[in-house]
Amino acid sequence: MSPAPTRCVTLKLATSLDGRIALANGASRWITGEAARARVHQMRADHDVVLTGIGTVLADDPQLTVRLPGFDGQQPGRVVLDTRLRLPESASLLGEGGPVLVICASDVPAHARAAIAAKGARVETLNRFDGPSVSLAAAIDCVRALDGNRILIEAGGRLAASALRQGLVDRIEWFRAPILLGGDSIPVVAALGLERLDEAPMFTRVSLEAVGDDIHEVYLRKVS
């Protein structure tokens, strides 16, 4: 596995063969196998921050830490995009691990921000928006200003779609498990709103490898 470059946005996807991340009822753990999941932990170790959306936090309550046997390196920071600050004070990522940054809209009441800050997180506000949500591009600028230059997005279909739609993804690390979940399950990338094929985000595959029972593919953004 090649290390992440010094400045990059990597999108990690772990899906069924048909590009699905969860059943319609939300069941999602675990689609990919242990070897693929160990690779994801290594990938976290190779990035400065792991960035996610509040949808993933509410669905899975992840820690987003590196949990590899014998790992004593630096834990990545965790960043949550959470426009309305729905993050529960009991969220696992507010426990052990690297520093936590929560980005919400500037109209979130100060007392709600203070409650999350009291749990040890840094809370930043943005007044730039992608539709109803805070702007991902502005959030990435904010993370970079804090020296988070290697950013790993581990999120659900909504944040993945925002990142792809805006051309913010340099590299995709895609783990595909030999299971089919069907059209009634949840797609890895939500609506992109494309009207022409030449508007579609394009990538070039640079590697393909079996990892346990899964396939690990790496794609780089195609430069036209």
Ligand X SMILES: NC(=O)c1ccc[n+]([C@@H]2O[C@H](COP(=O)([O-])OP(=O)(O)OC[C@H]3O[C@@H](n4cnc5c(N)ncnc54)[C@H](OP(=O)(O)O)[C@@H]3O)[C@@H](O)[C@H]2O)c1
- Verify binding: residue 82, ligand X, rule CB under 6 A: yes
- Verify binding: residue 83, ligand X, rule CB under 6 A: yes
Residue 186 near residue 27 (C-beta atoms within 8 A): no
- Verify binding: residue 159, ligand X, rule CB under 6 A: yes
For ligand X, which is the closer residue by CB, 45 or 54? 54
ω before 30 within 30° of 0 (cis)? yes
**Which pair of tokens denotes residue 190?**
């939500």
- Verify binding: residue 36, ligand X, rule CB under 6 A: no
Q: What's the closest the beta carbon of residue 77 comes to ligand X, in angstroms? A: 17
Taking residue 71's Cβ as centre, other Cβ atoms within 10 Å add up to 14
Minimal CB distance to ligand X: which residue? 156
Question: Which of the residues 177 through 196 are near ligand X (CB under 6 A)?
Answer: none
Q: How far is CA 22 from the centre of its chain?
A: 15
Encoded amino acid at 190, one letter: A
- Verify binding: residue 54, ligand X, rule CB under 6 A: yes
Judged by CB under 6 A, how many residues of this single chain contact ligand X? 31
CA–CA dist 13, 9 (Å, integer): 13
For ligand X, which is the closer residue by CB, 45 or 177? 177
- Verify binding: residue 21, ligand X, rule CB under 6 A: yes
CA–CA dist 110, 128 (Å, integer): 18
Q: Which stretch binds ligand X (CB under 6 A): 55-63, 107-115, 196-204, 209-217?
A: 55-63
End-to-end CA distance of the chain: 26
Q: What's the closest the beta carbon of residue 72 comes to ligand X, in angstroms? A: 26
CA–CA dist 101, 96 (Å, integer): 14
CA–CA dist 166, 188 (Å, integer): 16
Measured in residues, the chain has a length of 224
| Among the listed residues 4, 9, 11, 13, the single contact to ligand X using CB under 6 A | 13
For ligand X, which is the closer residue by CB, 191 or 224? 191
For ligand X, which is the closer residue by CB, 22 or 72? 22
β-sheet bridge partners, residue 204:
220
Using CB under 6 A as the criterion, which residues of the chain lie in contact with ligand X when the complex forms? 13-15, 21-22, 26, 28, 52-56, 59-60, 81-84, 130, 132-136, 154-159, 162
